[in-house]
Structure 1
Amino acid sequence: MGKLFGLVGHPLGHSMSPLMHNTEFKELGLPHHYQPFDLKKEELEEGIKALRLLGIEGFNVTIPHKVSIIPLLDEVEQEAMEIGAVNTVYRKDDLLIGANTDGQGYLQSLLKLIGEDSLIDKKILVVGAGGAARAVAVSISRSGVGSLTIANRTLEKAEELCRVCSTYADVNAIPLDTASSSLETYDIIINTTSIGMSPETDRVPLPVKGIKDETVMSDLIYNPLETLWLTQGREQGAITANGISMFVEQGALAFEKWLGIKPDRYRMQETVLRKLGGL
């Protein structure tokens, strides 16, 4: 008998997770099903109770529930607690355990991009200090990094994230305009904000003038597949990457937590790209 998996959030019409996971179940010959569960904020608690009764084996969590779901779970992994958000829930016996595969998913996608297994000699700039930035910064810090700078319009938010990461790495916070004047000092620049996402595709999170040749510029956005910021960076000689790889990696890591088997990441990426018109 097949197992039930799903996605909890609101709204969910845009999500590609059901297509990605259900396609992979089919390709692997597994009788499982991945179902979206569109729950508003006031419906979350009762919704999680219902999912327990349904015997759900695992599910992903997206906006706006990544933080509010934490007290509704039986346990939460340490990294997810440090990030302050859960994006993956898996069943262990009769318990629902919260995890966060966003940060590790991003880390794995970044290491594949640069062709290395360590960031210990890299100087990294993270743009933004919201939920996505927390996942990226915490996981990068925990992995070992040369230095990490967090730039945000509201400096206090960047400083708070620095306090979380400082246990693991040399990290500092700066205003966004300061980052713009020192781009040549960074090996990797990561945009974790939504600036440049469709439909406001004419905006950039910060200028690219002054970056070093072959600076890695990574944008978590994948709609459009290439943001204006990445286009400008590529024209300046940067190595660029959108958020598709992170999306696939976080999904694949969730898949492994649920079933204990590795999905075909290349096939998952093809599924997403085909849906987005990138193939």
Structure 2
Amino acid sequence: MKSFIALLGFFILSSNLFAQSPSTCEMDRINWMEFAEFVPMKINTVILPTGTLEPHGVVNNGADNTAPFAMAKAIANELNALIAPTLNYGITGSMAAYPGAFQISEEAYAPFIRDILKGLAKNKFKNIIILNGHGGGQTAVLQKVAADIANELGVRTLVINWWSYASDVTLEVFKEDGGHAGLNETAYIQAIDPTLVHKDRYNPDQATAYPKTGTWSAVPFPSSIGLYQEGQGYPNFDEKQAKEYFQKVNAKVAGLIKETIRKWDLAGL
């Protein structure tokens, strides 16, 4: 009996050591020993969701965090990637005055994100994918710091503003352009968790079209819904379209990541 138990224990240990996938793709939920078994020998890609806290019409203030984290979870297995904890605070900008919003200065944000990327490189990830949920000045900071880290440490970085990259999907699904907390972003959040969408609080007057360059600017921005095109992008709360949009955006973003990694490998970088 003892020999049988010992043999069974050996097989259980062996199956754990040679498991094809980790028990979780989330870095803050994985055990350090399991992490060592997979990174970098079996997994060398990590997704870092970034966002901020700011008003988003009738969806949650943390929509810029909710969206990239949900997207990362939806595509991580397909990409054979782990997901780093979301950086929930960012450079909010012109909506920082709204209730519940947070504004991190560039002087604080840039070195912090730099140290996060250095930490991911130290942990032996080769491909560092920043899945960004918030634009404005944050995008430029992320792009610069990611490029610097790639050149300094010999890792490969990719920064994606998902809503901008998937703008063609917005037009395909909704037949019109979207906006900040508009048709597209509200739909994406609705597909993730409908309880985060407060349709009863919606008023079209909450939306304002973004000004054309050089025409006007206002701080705080007068509305928490910013339309990319005048008269387009008002939320419609269509459940079917929301699910379709969620799936198509995820597929497009995953495709970009896979193709970028394939070309990095092809070039021997």
Please, what TM-score do these two structures have when normalized by structure 2? 0.28
Q: Which has the higher strand share?
A: 1
More helix by share: 2
Larger Rg computed on CA atoms: 2
Higher relative contact order (CA 8 A, sep 6+): 2
